[in-house]
Amino acid sequence: MQINQAGLEIVKRFEGLRLKSYKCPADVWTIGYGTTTRAGVGINVKSGMEITEAEAEAYLVKALDKFGAQITSKFTRTPTSNQYSAMLSLAYNIGAGAFKKSTCLKRFNAGDMEGAAEALTWFNKAGGKTLNGLVRRRAAERELFLADDVAAVVTPTPDAERETRSSKTLQAAGAVAVSGVTATGAAIGDLSETVQIIVVVCLFVLLAGCAFIARERIKAWAG
């Protein structure tokens, strides 16, 4: 699996882009999007180092791929894209070794998703102090972890809704008409042959009369 866009945005937002080396709150030399020497992606981060943004992107991709490969083997159940991305963001931040021993992973493998999401938020300290940045990052990861992976829902346009309603109305009218004709035919079929003839003649006369009246009214309106 690979980190999804939502997970990647969390990593980028909270790691931040620094093109000059600096010491993180844990007193570790860091550069780019939180890349350290311990990440093992081909860079020895030290004081006074500078890289380009393209290099920072390349190191981030390599690091995420490497961390993903290290933690995937520890899953005993298949995570959703959001769950995987949230846990990979956590592992990238705290280290693959710490993640493998985490309660978050244990609860996830046990099927306790709410518990795993809660345990994910526990990693909010550096140097024994709770950091607001880590609190916000864990909250974002927890939200992503618990979010459903759903397909896009296409919302009908007003025109489409009107067409659908019109179609359904016509279908209903047709069904009523067919139902009426069928019912009438069935009722006539139950009568004797002589009565059937009388009924048919009466219906014919009635329809002819209605047609005559309608024609005369049209002539009157036209005149």
> By CB neighbour count within 10 A (0-12 exposed, 13-18 middle, 19+ buried), where does 67 fall?
buried
d(CA 17, CA 9): 12
User: Is 15 among the catalytic positions?
Assistant: yes
User: Is 202 among the catalytic positions?
Assistant: no
Nearest to 81 by CA among 138, 180, 131, 151: 151
Are residues 34 and 92 in contact, defined by beta-carbon separation less than 8 angstroms?
yes
DSSP state letter for 50:
B
Are residues 21 and 34 in contact, defined by beta-carbon separation less than 8 angstroms?
no
Packed helices 193-222 and 158-189: angle between N→C axes, nearest 10 degrees: 140
Are residues 31 and 18 in contact, defined by beta-carbon separation less than 8 angstroms?
yes
> Which of the following is catalytic: 9, 15, 55, 114?
15
> Which of the following is catalytic: 24, 50, 114, 210?
24
Residues 6+ apart with CB under 8 A from 86: 7, 10, 120, 141, 142, 144, 145
The catalytic residue positions are 15, 24
